[in-house]
Amino acid sequence: MAGDKRTTTFTFLAEPGDVNFGGKVHGGAVMKWIDQVAYACASGWSRRYCVTVYVGGIRFFKPIQIGHEVKLEASVIYTGSSSMHISVDVYSAPLWEDKYIKNTHCIIIFVALDEEGNKVEIPKWIPETADDKAMEEYALRLMDRRKLIEDEMLPYLSK
């Protein structure tokens, strides 16, 4: 049943294979993890196969150290008829500490598809708490800004 899958959390260790030239976790590895946890969240909510249609405003605050525990939290913050806006936060901490720091934040949008690849209707998410309502308003504000960015990019999309 939709609703019980609004939030998905992944937790694991940052491994040496994730390292960049500076000795920290590679940004590409973080983006892959974001896509994975957001996909799990969107598919769990919609109970459908989903595809990424937009990733916006990935903000890297602090680097992730190799060997640290990494926690990704994904939550549905807005639903359209077939699309879901998923907020993803990435945190990390040494294994011997309980205090996580926020490393990364972004919004990623998925669309639910049927077996033939057509968009399908999904359950509507209704915000209940003040925090939920604030996150939905955040998603709507970003949607308005994204339209401006898309208009600006239009001349370059067909080149």
**CATH number reported for the structural domain that contains residue 71 in this entry:** 3.10.129.10
Is residue 2 in a domain? no
Query: Do 67 and 13 meet the contact criterion of CB atoms below 8 Å apart?
Result: yes
**Euclidean distance between CA atoms 13 and 57, whole angstroms:** 25
Q: Which has the closest alpha carbon to 46: 121, 129, 135? A: 121
Eight-state DSSP code of residue 111: E
The Cα 136–Cα 41 span in angstroms is 16
Task: Let me know if residue 152 belongs to a domain.
Answer: no
Determine the pLDDT at residue 150.
85
Residue among 35, 37, 44 at smallest CA distance from 3 = 44
The whole-number pLDDT of residue 99 equals 93
Q: Are 62 and 103 a contacting pair, CB within 8 Å?
A: yes
For residue 142, is it within any domain? no
Residue 156 CA to its chain's centroid (Å): 26
State how far the Cα of 70 lies from the Cα of 14, in Å rounded to an integer. Answer: 6
Q: Which two tokens stand for residue 159?
A: 């080149």
State the pLDDT at residue 80.
95
138: in domain? no
- Report the chain (159 residues): mean pLDDT per 10 consecutive residues: 76 92 93 97 96 92 95 97 97 94 97 96 96 95 88 82
Q: In what order do the strands lie in the sheet with 101-113?
A: 7-13, 69-79, 83-93, 101-113, 49-60
pTM of the model: 0.91
Question: 146 in a domain, yes or no?
Answer: no
What pLDDT is stored for residue 85 in this prediction? 97
Count the domains in the chain: 1
Full residue range of the structural domain in which residue 99 is found = 7-125
Q: What is the pLDDT of residue 153?
A: 85
pLDDT for res 79: 97
Task: Select from 58, 152, 138 the least CA-distant residue to 105.
Answer: 58
- Give the number of other CB atoms < 10 A from CB of residue 87: 21
Residue 133, in any domain of the structure: no
Residue 90 lies in a domain: yes
Assigned token pair, 27: 């940004």
